Amino acid sequence: MIIEIQDVQCRVVSATDDEQDWIQGYLSFADSSFRGRKNKRVSLYNALRGTFPGGLLQLMRDAAVRDGVKLEELDKRVTRVIPDANADVAWLRDYQKDAVEACVKAKRGIVHAPTGSGKGDMIVGLIRRLPGRWLFLVHRDQLVEQQAKRFKKINGGLTPNILSRTPPSEWKLNPGVNLMTLQSLAAGIRRDRPGVDKALAKLDGLVIDECHVAPADVYFSAINRCPAEYRFGFSGTPLDRTDNRSLMAIAALGKVIYRVKAQVLIDAGILALPRITMVRVKQLPTQDAKDGGFHGLYDELIAVSEVRNARLVEIVKAAPKPCMVFVKIIEHGHAMKRLIEEAKISCEFVWGNTKSEQRSAAIERLERRDADVMIASVVFQEGVDIPSLESVVIASGGKSVIAALQRIGRGMRTNNGTKATFEVYDVLDVGTVMLEKHSKRRMKTYVREGYQTIVQDELGTQTLYQPKLMTRREKRIGA
């Protein structure tokens, strides 16, 4: 089989029928996303054009060796950027320098780095080592603003080019860094695809922060219109999706080429060590909840459950302050606020409709201890670090391990060296197979990250949780 390597795609130049069948089988997966129909399979191989995303090439090489398939490669990429050996990256920590050098060597791939590891600084260092036209993408406006401030601070006050504020017809990629949201890129492509393609044609490098969102259909399509030779993603949870779509993050960017383990940062005093307590709450659903599927079970046994919410209030009472409580839906947040205030604990609730300046003011009040508890929805799940936070309560349940780790990450920053550990409380929902499965998925992830995880039963008895081994799917994608 002969494969031609291009910036975005690889093209199968020559293959037998058996080899075509092998590619088709290897590059397909069962789509279990919310939008995926039951038993639907997604193929990342376009048999008509003979192409597949270039990020999958290394996985293809490994699989070909395993299955005895002979590969010949023709590299058609044109190198326009030469690494700058004299670039100033001395201010990076040693592991950050190692991550940057791994990127320079590999040309594409994912850096698995937890909250607090300084992903933004690594990205600045990477762009210094590979001077050219770069596009920085992320899925939230506040993260664009944060990274723009970081570039400006480190690069002597030079203001980076934020394209999200400019109509697609006026997009111009400047030398250095250009920043925008994935949503803006996708919308620009819809409105003016030829013009956007013309602007992107001069791109040398692409970097995506929080790259676990890349498999979303609209993002994946937009990313694959960026013809950059250097392609990288950064995330603390790059391959932790629960819908089988993590393979698409690899397809867009490449495999994991460097990992910063949280324990290394904890040992160095950069991050605080989370101590996880899973509090067991047993409930049996009514028939109405069962008939309502997941949403029926979630509403009855999590969002409006008197038993569970009362137990959560007891957890909040005992938790070190200041404390952040995470919920998923607004109604649950309002219910928890009322119950916590009835327990004579000062409390605020911040959600999506809260303006950014009000969010900042709420954080300041929490840090000053004008409030003991802040209840938050997904709005504080990313891009917010509160070093003074002493505990996190995950009241939201759910199967998303990405969300669970991001919530824990809000409190992992050390407080000027005064915080070595902090407490995390989650709920082990038992009595319903689906919710118990979700709880154990989160527990398994905590242990995988190196966090000691204790299960506390109704009588207060505590036992150490030890999960099963890695699944076959996790082994395949290198999770």
Given a cut of 60, is residue 143 above it in pLDDT? yes
Number of domains forming the structure of the chain? 3
Q: Which band of pLDDT confidence, cut at 50, 70 and 90, is reported for residue 270?
A: confident
Distances from the Cα of 231 to the Cαs of 21, 208, 226, in angstroms? 28, 8, 9
- Among 231, 260, 289, the domain-final residue is 260
- For residues 211 and 136, the answer to whether their CB atoms sit within 8 Å is no
Distances from the Cα of 247 to the Cαs of 99, 207, 216, in angstroms? 21, 18, 12
On whether both 291 and 214 belong to a single domain, the answer is no
On whether both 216 and 305 belong to a single domain, the answer is no
Return d(Cα 26, Cα 202) in angstroms, integer: 33
Asked if residue 133 belongs to a domain, the reply is yes
pTM for this prediction: 0.85
Of 44-53, 100-109, 407-416, where does mean pLDDT reach its minimum? 407-416
- For residues 322 and 369, the answer to whether their CB atoms sit within 8 Å is yes
Q: Where are the alpha helices (DSSP H) in 130-181?
A: 141-154
Residue 32: predicted pLDDT: 64
- What lies within 8 Å, CB to CB, of 175 at 6+ separation is 131, 132, 133
What's the chain's average pLDDT?
89
- For residues 213 and 16, the answer to whether their CB atoms sit within 8 Å is no
Asked if residue 331 belongs to a domain, the reply is yes
Q: Residue range 196-200: average pLDDT?
A: 92
Asked if residue 80 belongs to a domain, the reply is no
Given a cut of 70, is residue 37 above it in pLDDT? no
Residue 39: predicted pLDDT: 56
On whether both 301 and 419 belong to a single domain, the answer is yes
On whether both 250 and 358 belong to a single domain, the answer is no
- Among 260, 293, 318, the domain-final residue is 260
- Among 197, 232, 260, the domain-final residue is 260
Q: Which band of pLDDT confidence, cut at 50, 70 and 90, is reported for residue 210?
A: very high
Given a cut of 90, is residue 430 above it in pLDDT? yes
- Share of residues in the chain with pLDDT > 70 (%): 94
Q: Which band of pLDDT confidence, cut at 50, 70 and 90, is reported for residue 381?
A: low
SS3 content of the chain, % helix, strand, coil (to 5): 40, 20, 35
Given a cut of 60, is residue 34 above it in pLDDT? no
Return d(Cα 143, Cα 120) in angstroms, integer: 10
What single letter denotes the amino acid at residue 243? Answer: D
Of 67-81, 319-333, 423-437, 460-474, where does mean pLDDT reach its minimum? 460-474
Q: How many residues does the chain have?
A: 479
Q: Which band of pLDDT confidence, cut at 50, 70 and 90, is reported for residue 352?
A: confident
Return d(Cα 259, Cα 269) in angstroms, integer: 18
Given a cut of 50, is residue 460 above it in pLDDT? yes
Asked if residue 82 belongs to a domain, the reply is no
Residue 322: predicted pLDDT: 93
On whether both 278 and 251 belong to a single domain, the answer is no
* CATH code, domain with 53: 3.30.780.20
On whether both 190 and 314 belong to a single domain, the answer is no
Structure tokens at 360: 């900042």
In terms of Cβ atoms closer than 10 Å to its own Cβ (0-12, 13-18, 19+), residue 225 is middle
Number of neighbouring beta carbons within 10 Å of residue 148: 17
Given a cut of 60, is residue 471 above it in pLDDT? no
Asked if residue 87 belongs to a domain, the reply is no
Q: Residue range 134-138: average pLDDT?
A: 95
Q: Which band of pLDDT confidence, cut at 50, 70 and 90, is reported for residue 33?
A: low
Asked if residue 246 belongs to a domain, the reply is yes
Range of the domain at 312: 268-477
477 versus 44: which is more confidently predicted? 44
What single letter denotes the amino acid at residue 178? Answer: N
- What lies within 8 Å, CB to CB, of 401 at 6+ separation is 237, 240, 242, 441, 442, 445
List the Cα angle 230/188/145 in 5-degree steps. Answer: 65
Instruction: Please write the tens of the pLDDT for every residue from 148-175.
Output: 998 988 887 778 999 988 888 889 899 8
- For residues 237 and 247, the answer to whether their CB atoms sit within 8 Å is no
On whether both 429 and 286 belong to a single domain, the answer is yes
On whether both 185 and 292 belong to a single domain, the answer is no
Instruction: Please write the tens of the pLDDT for every residue from 392-425.
Output: 999 999 988 888 888 888 888 887 767 888 999 9
Q: Residue range 87-104: average pLDDT?
A: 95
Adjacent-strand bridge partners of 48: none
On whether both 43 and 107 belong to a single domain, the answer is no
Given a cut of 50, is residue 223 above it in pLDDT? yes
On whether both 430 and 314 belong to a single domain, the answer is yes
Residue 336: predicted pLDDT: 96
Asked if residue 85 belongs to a domain, the reply is no
Return d(Cα 288, Cα 308) in angstroms, integer: 18
Adjacent-strand bridge partners of 73: 3
318 versus 353: which is more confidently predicted? 318
Q: Which band of pLDDT confidence, cut at 50, 70 and 90, is reported for residue 179?
A: very high
Residue 36: predicted pLDDT: 46
Structure tokens at 424: 């995390």
Return d(Cα 262, Cα 268) in angstroms, integer: 10
On whether both 278 and 149 belong to a single domain, the answer is no
CA count, 13 A, side-chain hemisphere, 305: 26
* CATH code, domain with 133: 3.40.50.300
Asked if residue 81 belongs to a domain, the reply is no
- Share of residues in the chain with pLDDT > 90 (%): 62
Given a cut of 50, is residue 477 above it in pLDDT? no
On whether both 56 and 143 belong to a single domain, the answer is no
